[in-house]
Each structure stands twice: as C-alpha cells, then as structure tokens.
Amino acid sequence: MSDINYFNSNYLIRLKDFILNSIAESDKINLLNNWLDKVSFILEIDPRLNCFVVMDNTFHDIYLDKILNDILVLFERIYQVSLPTISAVIIVKDEERCIYRCIESILDYVDEIVIVDTGSTDSTMDIINSIVSDKIKTYSTPWENDFSHARNFAKRKAKKDWLMFIDADEYLDGKGDYNEVKEILLILQFLSIKNEMVICPFISNHNGYNVTTVRRFFLNNTDINYFGLVHEEPRINNTKPYYISVNITFIHDGYMHEIVKNKRKTDRNLSLLSKMMLLEPNNLRWKYFYYRDGIEVIDLLNAEVGIKSSLILNEQYDFSKSNIREDEFTFALLDLLAKNNLRQSKFDDVDIITDIMNCFLPENSNSYYYKCLINIVELKSKYKELLDKTILYRERNIDPQY
C-alpha cells in the first residue's frame, strides 16, 4: 500500500467510517482523528497520485491494524525529527514598490533568504541592504530573458533543506506561528515521493482569482529544476513532479492593472510565451498563459480562433467535450474562451462552452456566473425592448383614454 493513502483525506475519511461501523475502540478513533487534523493543511493532491490510492469502499480487518500502526509510526517519527530548514528564494528587478513587504513577511519563517538581482536600476538593492539580517544573501546575474535561468541560478546558491520560491510582488500571509510552514514541510518529507514532489501554496490574487497549483516548494539537492522562459515550472528529468497543494497563503498583487501597465509585463510575457509555444507547440500551458496574459491586447476573434484550435481534436467535428483535449489547462482555456465570447456577445457559444466546463467540473461557480450574466443581459435587452414599445405606444396614443 502506498504511503500517499495516509495523506489523502478521502481515503482517511472512508477509513474512519469503516472503523466507526465495525469497532468501538476509542483509541483507534482518536488516533485517526489526530492524524486527520495533522494533515488537514493539504488542500489538493496531484490526480496522478490517485493511482496509488486505494479507492474501493471496503476495508478489511486484516489490514486495519497495519494501517493504524503505520500512522502511529508516522506520528512517532515526526516528533523525533527536528524541523527542517528553509531557503526562501526571490528574483528581483526594480522591485522597490514591494520588496520590503515581501522580505518582512518571511523573515521570521525561514532560515535563509537568497535574493538574485537581474539588473535593478531603482532603489531595490538599497532597500534590501538596509534590512539588518544575516539570513539575507544577495547575488546578481545578467537578465537573459529567461526566468528559469535566474531561478536555477538562485537554487544553486541556496543551502537549506527546502527551497521556497516567492515573487517580490507576493508576501506570506503568516498567522504568527513562525514554525507553521516548517511543520507542514516536516510532515510531507516523510512521503516516499519526497524527492519528486513539489508543494503548492494557496496564491490569493488581488483580482479575486485564487490558484492552488503553482509549484513553489521542493527539497534542495534533488534533480528538480525550473523550465520555461516565463510562467516557468519545476521539472524533473523533463517531466512534471507530483504536486501537493497546502494551506500556506501567498498574497499576490503584481497583476493589478496599474502595476501591469507600469512594469510592461504584458508585452514581455507575450514575447517570451511566443517562444515557448514554438519550443513546445503541443503544451497547453504556454497557450493558456499567452491568451490569459494577452486578454486585453490580443484581438478577440484571433484569440477565440487560437484557443479553439489549441483545444479541438478534429476540426471536422463540433466543439464538444468528446472533441477537445483533456489536460491540466483544458478547463482554464475553456474559461478564457467563455470570457472571450462573452465580450463578443456570442451568448449561444458561451452556453455551449459552460456546459462543457460543467462536464469537467460539475456545478463550477464560473459556469454559473457566466450563465447568470447572459440572463441579466438578455433581461435588460427585453426590458429595453418593452420600454421602447411603451414609449412608442404613448406617442401614438397621446390623448387621454377612459
């Protein structure tokens, strides 16, 4: 049995139900409740790990003692091991607006802060140097239009057990317990897949779009490195590591409109993403980020055609769930397509797209929202039509009627 079972809440809850229905030993219930509480920080587990998880609805008494003993051993091992150390990594260039906030938010939670400057011309480095802490290590490397190059350079400089990559326009939403992040990483490093695993924080964007699958933590001294010129991702031997999303919150404001405009992120990102799409033309990741980052500048019709051609399997057939590629970014691209068609007032197409989105994620809030918007627009249109008819009627029937 894979140890990932013991970190999967669905498996553990079914195990608890089995125990409650079969025995009345409170010590076993208490053990399982304590473990469930211990791993409650896990928000999501890579779907690829489901193949290791026992998903049937029955448990056998013969395995129960082994399962509970394994959990007990995990508890004992966790309490016998010291908390791991963390190297926070920040890549900077002209970040005077936010770098102090970022550093201040993590200073008490980590053991080392590796900062790599790629050519700042503002007061970024002066601000960093004004912070008195022997945890902070600064380096510089020329900007080569490649975020992975900078991240991997920084990785080689980090000395602690775990790497935590945080952007300068983000900050850790800590709860005051300075060991909280380390305690989460301590538990996860008992997984057998620890060297091929990345951890994703909960990223809260100021535009209200929250993300749980951005890979930011992994063990140092592994074969994991970053890949991609922009919107880069960790890879291990050119494959994606397993991911686990956890309840560690980063707040991000770098894509607020006025900040995007000031930093010219859009033009830069689209240029780099175009190169990535040429390098990996079948990877939906780069197409999603290209059309997401360019949503305000790419012609709506061109974007619609581009997104559809990325998703559709056979252009001879209708756009339907059975005729689109299924991928980590399929739902996100469908969401972009729905937004695009809304802006073009193609409401019938939006209705089809949202139905497909519901097939992938039943009753998702985005689909419901878009359908509500369409209903509101249609109701307003009918209201205006009725109002126009009433005005015309009044003009034709000006005399009083009794």
Q: pLDDT by residue for the chain (402 residues), tens digit each?
A: 478 888 988 888 888 887 777 665 678 888 888 999 999 999 999 988 876 666 555 566 667 788 889 999 999 999 899 999 999 999 999 999 999 999 999 999 999 999 999 999 999 999 999 999 999 999 999 999 999 999 999 999 999 999 999 999 999 998 778 899 999 999 999 999 999 999 999 999 887 788 999 999 999 999 999 999 999 999 999 899 999 999 999 999 876 655 656 567 889 999 999 999 999 999 999 999 999 999 989 999 999 999 999 999 999 999 999 999 999 999 999 999 999 999 999 999 999 999 999 999 999 999 999 999 999 999 999 999 999 999 999 888 877 766
Q: Residue 390 is encoded by which pair of tokens?
A: 């009433």
Q: Residue 149 is encoded by which pair of tokens?
A: 């190059």
Alpha-carbon gap, residue 272 to 265, rounded angstroms: 11
- How much is the pTM? 0.88
| 86-252 homologous superfamily | Spore Coat Polysaccharide Biosynthesis Protein SpsA; Chain A (3.90.550.10)
Q: Write down the pLDDT at residue 95.
A: 96
Alpha-carbon gap, residue 144 to 142, rounded angstroms: 6
Neighbours of 234 (CB within 10 A): 25
Alpha-carbon gap, residue 369 to 196, rounded angstroms: 37
The amino acid occupying position 34 is N
Q: Write down the pLDDT at residue 256.
A: 66
Alpha-carbon gap, residue 200 to 244, rounded angstroms: 6
Alpha-carbon gap, residue 328 to 186, rounded angstroms: 28
| Helix-then-strand count for the chain, H and E | 14, 12
Neighbours of 195 (CB within 10 A): 15
Beta bridge partners of 225: 235
Alpha-carbon gap, residue 70 to 3, rounded angstroms: 9
DSSP state of 264: T
Q: Write down the pLDDT at residue 1.
A: 47
Query: Positive or negative CA dihedral for 277, 152, 84, 195?
Result: positive
CATH 1.25.40 location in the chain: 263-368
Q: Residue 158 is encoded by which pair of tokens?
A: 């980090």
The amino acid occupying position 97 is R
Please give the distance of CA 74 from its chain centroid, rounded to a whole number.
28
HSE at residue 19, side-chain half, CA atoms within 13 A, is: 21
CATH of domain 263-368: 1.25.40
Alpha-carbon gap, residue 392 to 402, rounded angstroms: 20
CATH 3.90.550.10 location in the chain: 86-252
Alpha-carbon gap, residue 166 to 350, rounded angstroms: 36
Q: Write down the pLDDT at residue 2.
A: 72
CB 273 within 8 Å of CB 292: no
CB 216 within 8 Å of CB 155: no
H or E segment and range at residue 124: helix 124-130
